[in-house]
Structure 1
Amino acid sequence: MIQFQSARPWYRTHLSLSIAGALACCSASALAQDGTNAANAGAQRTDAQQLDTVVVTANKREENVREVGASISVIGERQLENTGAVSLSDYAAYIPGLQVQNDGTPGLTRVSLRGISALSSGATVATYIDDVPVGSSGIYQGASALMLDLMPYDISRVEVLRGPQGTLYGAGAIGGLLKYVTRAPEVVGEETRVGFGLRSVQGGGQAWNARLGASLPLKDERLGLRMSFARNGLAGFTDNVIDGRKDINTGDQIGARTALAWDGDAFDLGLSVLHQRIRSDDRAGVALDPETLTPLFGEQKDTVWQPRPFSKDLTLVSLSMDWDLGWGNLVSATGWSQTKTMDQIDATTQFGEVADLLLGLPAPGSSSLRYGYDMDKITQEFRLLSKDGGTLEWMVGGFYTKEDSKQDQVASLAERDGTPLPPPYDAQFGTLAVIGLPSTYKEYAVFANGSWRISDRFKLDLGVRQARNDQWYSQRVSEGILAPIGVTTGTSSENVFTWSVSPQFKLSDDIMLYARVATGYQPGGPNVAMVGIPPQVDSSMLDSYEVGIKSQFADRRVTFDLSVFRIDWDDIQVSSSFNGISGLVNGGQATSEGVELSSQFSVTDALTLGLNGAYTNSRLKNDFDPTVIPQDGFDFIQWTGLADDRMPYSPRLSWTATAEYAFSTANGYNGQIGGAFRWTGERFNGTTERQRFTAPGDPDTQVMPDVITSPLKLGSNHSLDLYAGIGRGSWELRAYVNNVTGEDGWLTLARVAGALSRVNSHVAAVPVQPRTYGMELDFRF
């Protein structure tokens, strides 16, 4: 087994230091308090009358969300708390057009917007924490399946920008942007918060959580310090029929953050250190019959021969600077992140048959496949921007990023019970493969953005970005029989231009019409060394057309936002595999058309109703270009998608209805009762695959009939979530029940077949989490 070690920069911050700092800050802040002055959280809520004050940073300057000519959804801290959210999949349904596929544990997450699903290892939705991009822009860090699943604690809000954001946010924002905005330190006023909670899954286990945080002014209302720590337990509910273990998918999330803010007369500085750790002993799953898609062994029962642990550690150091020049502002955003991920899968069905079918042993064995990802990422952006509110608002800037990454793959083979193979097989075949894939990604970009207020009612936004990326990778196979031993390298360079135009017209103070045309791209890169696979995969490009309306009426008690869009996607990156080795190719084209709705109605000052939904028709326009892989005596030809296929995990229809009633009592209690009903239509887990075997160099001479594998269909599912809270003075008690009626459904499906026999053993399904109860108690001082 090969282990790659790398020297860490001097500024790497360990979780233990962050925790210690948070504890010290909270103790100091608590001692400084002489009363309970925290506002009761139960009285806090956002109704339709307050929506016009929601501030977003979509255009990299603070703006009223009602004034931005783009589709933006905002999930606030309060909503995250009410629903007991611990990951993206817990609140995705509140955002029209957002689909999240949780592969069994937080951190194993795929995200798509408006039907722009990831068909390769590169992400289609970019992720930011405040002003810093996180996650890989390249193709060798599993970015599409390992989207950042940041723990919601200490998050002020989550902004989701739908549609390509290539001009301001660059690589990977081809489908949209997910932006976590953290709570800033306060330079005036102290705050301490301590909370505890318990969560229980029906038919499964229990888990506890705890959190603490504090803001502490340090010097003359100029310097503020904020520190926080949180721990969320993951309650297990999957049982393993192989060894009888119960609730195997337990784990925890731990996060800590320290932030400093200097509020000067003309110069503001911010420094933040954030660390998040995810540990999962195994993952949620159910083994299904490959024909009927019914559970083989019962609800929440899976077949696991080898452990499937998952871990992810993220450390982010960010430094921000805002210099007021009088006529404008110079902004700098610097970031360093280090991400380490370990994902081990049970490959017994795929490779266990090597023992009997290839080596001639009396029985099949068991196998595991471990992926290790290690990435250091540095980013630097400078922006020079005009003051807000003038006839012409402008921004120019430059951006640089560098990623130094490593990916390791280790496949092993053992007896069915996990013991080593008998000699001499253990020494020769106990390790099926050891593969190292170090890579680098560098990107340089310049961009400009402007808003011209032609009149009081008409405004025009324009944006351009010119980017270049240079990449290098090496494929190093040192052991095993699954891939040829040796070292190969590859390089690539690309220049990419993106642009956007958005005219906006105000019919009145509360009604705005807008249109938006924008482009985005998903970077390509050097490819794996594989016969029939091109040495480089090109960037995929996307053109988006959108018209929409943002409106408020009835004294701003009602909001109604509607957008209609069409997206043309070209040179789509898709994965093509043969004999267990995969590479990327540019497949073809797809379109996505749809309508999105967000609305809210403040029936009274206490009762608020909401409805959001999306209709999305996202399909392939053509058969993907075939991949021809020459073999001894024949050619293997593969299509990984056929015309009119639906894009994976993209429902035609999804919607969520919400209601909340806030109340106050004469003796000082404040609270709220609310709920949400979520509905997601049927989806497909992939695209159609066609395989053909032909005479060498003669695609018209078929050795056998084509083998066509259709995608699996996931039926529609729905869920009812309820919550309630009450508080007085410095304390608040909240309770919630998610999936109240205990509805069944699948989040993801995947066929599991032998690599040699091609026989489908079962379908691996990730279930909707069963009914979950939770209770939270918070104290604020």
Structure 2
Amino acid sequence: MNAFQPNRPWYRSPLSIAIASTLACVVAAPVMAQESPGPQAPTESASAERATTLDKVVVTANKRVENIRDVAASISVIGERQLENIGASSLADYAALIPGLQVQDSGSPGQTSVSLRGIAALSSGASVATYIDEVPVGSSGIYQGANTLMLDVLPYDISRVEVLRGPQGTLYGAGAIGGLLKYVTRAPDVSGDEFRLGFGLRTVEDGGQDLNVRFGASVPLKEDRLGLRMSFARNGLPGYTDNIIDGRKDINDGEQVGARAALFWDGDAFDLNLSVLDQRINADDRGGTALDPETLKPLFGDLVDRTWQRQPFSKDLTLTSLSLDWDLGWANLVSATGWSQTKTTTQMDSTIQFGEVANLLLELPDPGSSFLRYDFDLDKVTQEFRLSSKSGGPFEWLVGVFYTKEDALQSQFVWLGQLDGSPLPAPYDSMFSTLANLELPSTYKELAVFANASWRIGERFKIDAGVRQARNEQWFSQNVSEGILVPLGDAPGESSEDVFTWSLSPQFKLGDDSMVYARIATGYQPGGPNVALEGMPPKVDSSMLTSYELGLKSQFADQRVQLDLAAFRIDWDDIQVASSFNGVGGLVNGGEATSEGAELSALFRATDEWTVGFNVAYTRASIKNDFEPTVIPQGPFDVILYTGLAGDRMPYVPKLSWALTTEYAFTTQGGFNGQVGAALRGMGSRLNDTTELQRITAPGDPSTLLAEDQITPPLELDSYRALDLYAGIGKGGWELRVYANNITNEGAWSSLAPLNGALSGTPVQVVGVPIRPRTFGIEFDYRF
């Protein structure tokens, strides 16, 4: 037995009691993801309109409504019709539509890690911020697992999804270090009625099938003034992985349920929008495959996992938001208020990691079984006021203040029993069945002031600039009540920090339909008080980065060709990384990294009916220096851990990813309208982690080695290509759509996580989470 075999966490939560590899476990693009409006609802004039709508996509990246062609930043927009055509139910379904976006999941929505432009989720905080309309959702702190539990909204009653690449710290603040994901919901219609009913069926190759139902209604309560919108959707998630231990089939099935009610007042002086949104995700288990740790081949067959304990997952989000837009005549005053409650429970089988406590530590005849359960509760209140000038003048400005308060609780519980799931024999059951029971309450408060301005100089030149000054104050306590894995007792901590971010973006119009721009911007990922473990610093500082970008946006050939090109370099300092030993760990500020690359999006409308699109991203993201080591005293020796070495590639960042799309729209003489489309998407090879170096030295003397260095290299995920198809036809108010994603049933991994014994360090298996196998779906909608 070698007690010094490293166990590297993939689930990078502070005090991650189980090695985090436990948590680890197509999209067809109708047109170019960069900013295509997507196919229109079936109308007789749809084909005639397509060639003239390329330049009418609006975004709110600068917190004012603008044409996407006039914004000096890299933005992708996914429209409602695009999401419908491909049967999207999660971020993983449309990630390939967005250059530079990478998504890893554990077989169900909500168990998701997201990165943009190589800014990987190395710590427990989010690197991509999430907004629903005007309100940020999800935690800004480091104790809610935001890195691997990204909010994954069921995209129903969503007008569009905006993805802003690069740091957005000036206008969007904490967590937007890599970019922003913004869901824009559909507003009530104050001028007329709209009703929609729909249902569908989805089936997965060698897996299950499930039903989808949805309803939407928009009615004016006072014509041209007050409107009400209501919607409900239930989306079934058929499972497709089996468990060799208990024989269960299609264990990772689940469902998404979403409901929303919104009131909109369209007044002469002010507009008011009140919305309540509820989203729930429930999954029975995780989607994984047990792999040989040496060969990475399936141990028991394709899509067959090995777990002794069930692994359910649930996430409930309730968001209430109130926004006011008051026209003062000379400017607009906007108030955006949000209150959200998020409850997440995720349970993982930790038998491989901690089952050996029974035989190796307690000296029972056989190893046991174990599970680890995390509970995350978050109450978040946000308030933003901003005053902005009228649009269209040579000088536009915006000033604002933002406040947020988060009350959060993370609970961790580790149970140990016999291998068949029964309790340990007496007296061990009362003494050791609870390996750990702890709570991590925390609060996060932030107050920020920000300003943004743009100045047009002549007809061609414009310069944008922004600043933000923020201060956050945090409190945290580590309260351990039971167990043998973590020292008992309470250990509070607190921190505060001031952060300044800025942006500068000049642009020059080459003509009516072309411009070049440059953008320099900064962003940050908040730090906070750290867990109370020997060798860990009392707090971790914010991560900061600076992004440099050059871009071109152009339309030509009578606006039938659209071309967007961006090149970037990102310098990332004080990176927060997880460091753990024997399955217990916290955060440290590791060092520096760079990410540089280029992104291209092109759209060609060959005819009014036929569209071809292409997007590609090249990203080279790597660590500049060996990460700062963590020194963990172990009595007669010290363990020195390096969690990344110079030259390491960033986890789950391919050098090359791309998507080729096409769509043909048609109208028949009988009045039917429809479309057929396809997408071929490609993903380059990736690595699942950075390199870990473990060094054993004499106490206080790092130059005296007591054993050979142990190096754990990352695992490689192979490249793959997948083909998606879809078609739809409709007439009047009804529409029928079909889709087939991953039509060739490409086998590839979304993530890889090694599972080793926490005491012995013995590699037992690797869990590979597959991309979704071949999936067929049929959907019917009727609007009236």
**TM beyond 0.5:** yes
Q: SS of the residue aligned with 1:51?
A: coil
Q: Are 1:41 and 1:732, in contact at CA under 8 Å, matched by a contact in 2?
A: no
2:24 counterpart residue number: none
Partner in structure 2 of residue 7 of structure 1: none
Taking the aligned partners of 2:753 and 2:615, their CA distance within structure 1 comes to 30
Give SS of 2:54's match: helix
| Aligned match for 2:42, one of 40, 62, 69 | 40
Residue-by-residue CA offset, 1:706-741 (whole Å, 9 max, x unaligned) = 000000000001110000000111100000000000
* Structure 1 CA distance for aligned equivalents of residues 493 and 43 of structure 2: 55
- Which position in structure 2 is the counterpart of 1:641? 644
Q: Does 1:93 align with 2:93?
A: no
Superposed CA deviations along residues 666-716 of structure 1, whole A, max 9, x for unmatched, are 111000000111100000000000000000111011000000000000000
Corresponding residue for residue 283 of structure 1? 286
User: What's the counterpart of residue 389 of structure 1?
Assistant: 392
Hey, what's the Cα distance between the residues in 2 that align with 1:452 and 1:520?
23
Q: Secondary structure at the match of 1:671?
A: strand
Residue identity opposite 2:312 in structure 1: P
Shift of 1:47: 4.7
Alpha-carbon separation, structure 1, partners of 2:244 and 2:300: 8
1:718 to 721, 728, 731: 721
Q: Which has the higher contact order (CA 8 A, sep 6+)?
A: 2
The equivalent residue for 1:577 is: 580
What is the CA distance between 1:42 and its match in structure 2? Answer: 9.4
Distance change in 2, residues 1:437/1:563 (3 Å)? same
- Which residue in 2 is equivalent to 1:417? 420
**Cα separation, 1, equivalents of 2:193 and 2:50:** 27
Q: Distance in 2 between matches of 1:138 and 1:49?
A: 45
Q: Summarize deviations over 1:253-286 as a string: whole Å, max 9, x none.
A: 0000000000000111000000000000001110
> Quick check: 1:628 aligned with 2:626?
no
* Equivalent runs, 1:190-589 vs 2, <5 Å: 190-589=193-592
What is residue 670 of structure 1 aligned with on the other side? 673
What is the distance in 2 between the residues matched to 1:376 and 1:541? 26
Measured in 2, the distance between the counterparts of 1:103 and 1:523 equals: 26
Q: How many residues align?
A: 744
2:189, 2:50 → 1: CA distance?
25
Identity of aligned residues (%): 70
2 CA distance for matches of 1:556 and 1:195?
35
Is the Cα–Cα contact under 8 Å of residues 113 and 163 in structure 1 kept in the other structure?
A: yes
* Cα distance in 2, alignment partners of residues 689 and 391 from structure 1: 54
1:52-100 CA-to-partner distances (Å, cap 9, x unmatched) read 1000000000000000000000000000000000000000000000000
Q: Secondary structure of 2:84's match? A: helix
Q: Structure 1 residues 39, 645: CA separation in 2 closer, same or farther (over 3 Å shift)?
A: closer
Partner amino acid for 1:276?
Q
TM-score by length of 2: 0.94
Aligned-pair distance for 1:648? 0.3
Q: Distance in 2 between matches of 1:753 and 1:44?
A: 57
| CA distance in 1: counterparts of 2:136 and 2:624, whole angstroms | 32
- 606, 612, 636: which one pairs with 2:609? 606
Q: Kindly provide the CA deviation profile for residues 378-434 of structure 1, in whole angstroms up to 9, marking residues without a partner as x.
A: 000000000000110000000000000000000000110101111110000011000
The answer to whether the 8 Å contact 1:42/1:725 transfers is no
- The AA in structure 2 aligned to 1:498 is T
Of 29, 54, 57, the match for 2:57: 54
Q: Is the 8 A contact 1:595 1:616 kept in 2?
A: yes
Amino acid at match of 2:460: R
Q: Aligned partners of 1:767, 1:40: CA distance in 2, in Å?
A: 35
Q: Tell me the amino acid that sits aligned with residue 404 of structure 1.
A: D
In structure 2, how many angstroms separate the alpha carbons of the residues matched to 1:658 and 1:449?
Answer: 37
For residues 481-521 of structure 1, the C-alpha deviation after alignment (integer angstroms, 9 at most, x for no partner) is 00011000000000000000000000100010000000000
Structure 1 residue identity aligned to 2:450: F
Q: Decide whether the 8 Å contact of 1:694 with 1:701 is kept in 2.
A: yes
Query: Which of residues 769, 772, 778 is equivalent to 2:772?
Result: 769
Alpha-carbon deviation of 1:43? 7.2
Counterparts of 1:761 and 1:194, CA distance in 2:
49
> For the residues of structure 2 that align with 1:635 and 1:167, how far apart are their CA atoms?
42
1:27 corresponds in structure 2 to none
Query: Contact between 1:168 and 1:447, CA under 8 Å: does it hold in 2?
Result: yes
- Whether 1:128 and 2:131 are equivalent positions in the alignment is yes
Separation in 1, partners of 2:93, 2:734: 25
Whole-Å separation in 2 of the counterparts to 1:145 and 1:78 = 28
What's the offset of the Cα at 1:755? 0.3
Unaligned runs of 5+ in 1: 1-37
| Paired residue secondary structure (1:81) | helix
SS of 1:50's equivalent?
Answer: coil
CA contact (8 A) 2:410 2:440 kept: yes
2:80 equivalent to 1:77: yes
Amino acid of the residue matched to residue 42 of structure 2?
Answer: N
Alpha-carbon distance in structure 1 between the residues aligned to 2:45 and 2:248: 44
Matched, 1:737 2:753: no
**Match 2:156 to one of 128, 153, 156:** 153
The answer to whether the 8 Å contact 1:443/1:470 transfers is yes
Aligned partner of residue 533 in structure 1, secondary structure: coil
3-state DSSP of counterpart to 1:693 = strand
Q: Check whether the contact 2:43–2:732 (CA below 8 A) recurs between aligned residues.
A: no
CA contact (8 A) 2:41 2:81 kept: no
Q: Distance in 1 between matches of 2:77 and 2:176?
A: 18
CA contact (8 A) 2:680 2:723 kept: yes
- Write the distance in 2 (CA, Å) between the matches of 1:451 and 1:141: 37
Amino acid at match of 2:470: A
Runs of 4+ in 1 over 4 A off after TM superposition: 41-48
CA distance in 2, matches of 1:285, 1:543: 37
Quote how far apart the aligned CAs of 1:40 are.
3.0
Q: Does 1:682 align with 2:685?
A: yes
- Shift in Å, 1:49: 3.7
Structure 1 residue matching 2:82: 3-state secondary structure: helix
Aligned to 1:164: 167
User: Secondary structure at the residue paired with 1:388?
Assistant: coil
State the SS of the aligned residue for 1:91: helix
- TM-score normalised by the chain length of structure 1: 0.95
> Any conservation in 2 of the 1:47–1:608 contact (CA below 8 Å)?
no
